Amino acid sequence: MNNSRPIKEIIEPRFVMEGAGVLLRRSIAPQVSNQFDPFLLFDHFAFNDPAEGPIRGFPMHPHRGIETVTYIIQGSVKHRDSLGNSGLIGPGDVQWMTAGGGILHEEMPRRGLDGIINGFQLWVNLPASQKMSRPRYQGVEAVTIPVFEKEGCRVHVIAGMLGDIVGPVTEIAANPIYLDVALEPGATFNVPVPEKQTCLAYIFDGQGVFGDQEVAGVKMVVFGSGDQIEVKAGTSPLRFVLVAGSPIGEPIVPYGPFVMNTIGEIQQALADLKNGTFVQV
Ligand code: CO
């Protein structure tokens, strides 16, 4: 039996400055209350006006205890890290980084040739048993991300399943779904989402009916309980990112770029940084 999820909450993203002066639209941020478990943070790069000048980005910084997921639709992010990786996350590419026990990296977002950047960073929590795991990357190029097409729906499947299409990002603790959904005016879209998973949609273009309410972008929708998501586009094209994941169900202590389970583990992260023993290789 299909039970469509209603909207539980609509979040208005707020503008924040992070890194060396990067303007972002932030919908959720790490909090002890952990109400979006396993998701911790969702940022949308928001500097589309070249009059704002060059973007200075996010110089070398640490992460521990989480995964950072960068998905770029327009523009790019240049990156390098303490494991020796470097490269460009280009339009349509995804970088799913499991920071585990410790990584230092630099992220430099850039507008595309058309002056536009549309990109997102999601933070996903790791269970205690994986917080000190070896860091790893799943770098997925746009050409290898499968596209589901049906009756006015065009969906990039990054993680999880849609129809018989399986996304290329796998072996993630939260067992996530990550879809980039584009709908033509009036098109409808359905996807099953396991009852126990937390499910969020970030609407960045157009408007439509999400479950039981009409919502216009730019907004984040938090879905209530049910086992499937139903969306119907309004009179213009609609585009949103849909994420779902299994709650980890552990207490968290967030501190800047670290999310651990106890204050002692945060103190340990700070001590490791100071002592030069932070990076896990
Ligand atoms: Co980072």
pLDDT tens digits along 263-275: 999 999 999 999 9
Q: Is residue 50 part of a domain?
A: yes
Q: 106 C-alpha to center of ligand 1: Å? A: 7
Q: Does the pTM exceed 0.85?
A: yes
Q: 99 C-alpha to center of ligand 1: Å? A: 9
Q: 105 C-alpha to center of ligand 1: Å? A: 6
Q: Place 52 in a pLDDT band, splitting at 50, 70 and 90.
A: low
Q: Is residue 89 part of a domain?
A: yes
Contact 219, 13 (CB under 8 A): yes
Residues in the chain: 281
Contact 24, 44 (CB under 8 A): yes
Q: Is residue 28 part of a domain?
A: yes
Q: What is the pLDDT of residue 46?
A: 78
CATH code for the domain in which residue 48 is found: 2.60.120.10
Q: 156 C-alpha to center of ligand 1: Å? A: 24
Residue 179 has pLDDT above 70, yes or no: yes
Contact 247, 38 (CB under 8 A): yes
Kindly state the average pLDDT of the residues 111-139: 93
How many CB atoms neighbour CB 135 within 10 A? 23
Range of the domain at 219: 7-275
Q: 243: closest CA among 260, 261, 220, 266?
A: 220
Total domains in the fold of the chain: 1
Q: 190 C-alpha to center of ligand 1: Å? A: 33
d(CA 216, CA 208): 7
Q: 162 C-alpha to center of ligand 1: Å? A: 29
Q: 68 C-alpha to center of ligand 1: Å? A: 7
Q: 242: closest CA among 280, 192, 168, 171?
A: 192
Q: Is residue 280 part of a domain?
A: no
Q: 3 C-alpha to center of ligand 1: Å? A: 37
Residue 168 has pLDDT above 80, yes or no: yes
Contact 37, 174 (CB under 8 A): no
Q: 24 C-alpha to center of ligand 1: Å? A: 14
Contact 180, 156 (CB under 8 A): yes
Q: Is residue 159 part of a domain?
A: yes
Q: What is the pLDDT of residue 263?
A: 98
Q: What is the pLDDT of residue 113?
A: 85
Residue 279 has pLDDT above 80, yes or no: yes
What residues contact residue 277 under an 8 Å CB cut-off, 6+ apart? none
Distance (Å) of CA 212 to CA 10, 188, 221, 223: 12, 13, 11, 10
Residue with tokens 């603790």: 173
- 71-80, 109-118, 129-138, 158-167: which has the minimum mean pLDDT? 109-118
Residues 189-212 pLDDT 10s: 999 999 999 999 999 999 999 998
Q: 237 C-alpha to center of ligand 1: Å? A: 32
Assigned token pair, 167: 């996304």
